């Protein structure tokens, strides 16, 4: 059994998961003029007021997914 092949397989699987998560997230989130994380009023085309909120939202969603939600 090869460690390197195992790790490469793991990476590819991670990339696919990330891509799927990205696509489904884009499909689920709709811009409603408020930051999806802190609810601050923002320009209508945006989903988050800043990159910190986007990152925190991503982390929260990842934690929820890990918890089985
Ligand atoms: Zn925000």
58 backbone φψ class: left, alpha, beta (φ>0; ψ -120 to 50) = alpha
The predicted pLDDT at position 4 comes to 77
State the distance from the centre of ligand 1 to the C-alpha of 11, rounded, in angstroms: 31
- How crowded is residue 56: how many other Cβ atoms within 10 Å of its Cβ? 14
pLDDT computed for residue 11 by the predictor: 83
Measure 53 CA to ligand 1 centroid, in angstroms: 5
Q: What predicted TM-score, i.e. pTM, was given to this entire model?
A: 0.56
pLDDT tens digits, 7-55: 787 788 888 777 777 665 555 688 999 999 999 999 988 999 999 999 9
pLDDT of residue 47: 94
Q: How many A from CA of 15 to the centre of ligand 1?
A: 27
Cβ–Cβ under 8 Å, residues 47 and 36: yes
Q: How far is the CA of 32 from the centre of ligand 1 (A)?
A: 13
Q: What is the pLDDT of residue 25?
A: 54
Strand partners, 41: 34
């Amino acid at each position: 059994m090869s460690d390197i092949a195992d790790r490469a397989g793991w990476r590819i699987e991670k990339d696919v998961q990330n891509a799927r998560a990205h696509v489904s997230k884009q499909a689920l989130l709709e811009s409603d003029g408020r930051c999806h994380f802190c609810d601050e009023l923002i320009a209508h085309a945006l989903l988050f007021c800043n990159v910190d909120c986007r990152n925190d939202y991503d982390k929260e969603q990842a934690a929820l997914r890990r918890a089985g939600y």
